[in-house]
Amino acid sequence: MFGLFVRFTCKDEDSARRFDRLVAETLPLIIDKEPGTLVYVSHFVDGEPLVRAFYELYTDRDAFEAHEEQPHVKRFLEARGEFLASVEVDWLSSQGGKGIPG
């Protein structure tokens, strides 16, 4: 299993709204077209209106690489920059837990 935790900080409230629209356009395509993507969730962060947190789990590194090559993901990656002040990525290795395979 391969995972990421990504923290996006938007530039301002308008950028946050526009980023949220981009996410709303992208999520259904990830759900429908990526069997190797096990979990892909976008979160709002309490008390931080410009921050969005993504939690992503893939069957393995190859599934993540396949995710990155999807046209909808490439579009998201290209478009997101105009809305963001910063991006922080934590790469995750699973120790196990409830609701995940193995």
In this prediction, residue 101 carries a pLDDT of 67
In this prediction, residue 86 carries a pLDDT of 98
The CA R_g of the chain, rounded to the nearest whole Å, is: 14
- Averages of pLDDT over runs of 10 residues in the chain (102 residues) are 96 98 98 96 98 96 97 98 98 85 64
45 DSSP β-pair partners: 48
Rounded to whole angstroms, the Cα distance separating 102 from 85 reads 37
Domains, the chain, ranges and CATH? 2-92 (3.30.70.100)
In this prediction, residue 21 carries a pLDDT of 98
Contact 53/45 with Cβ under 8 angstroms? yes
By three-state DSSP, how is residue 36 classified? coil
Residues 6+ apart with CB under 8 A from 23: 42, 52, 76
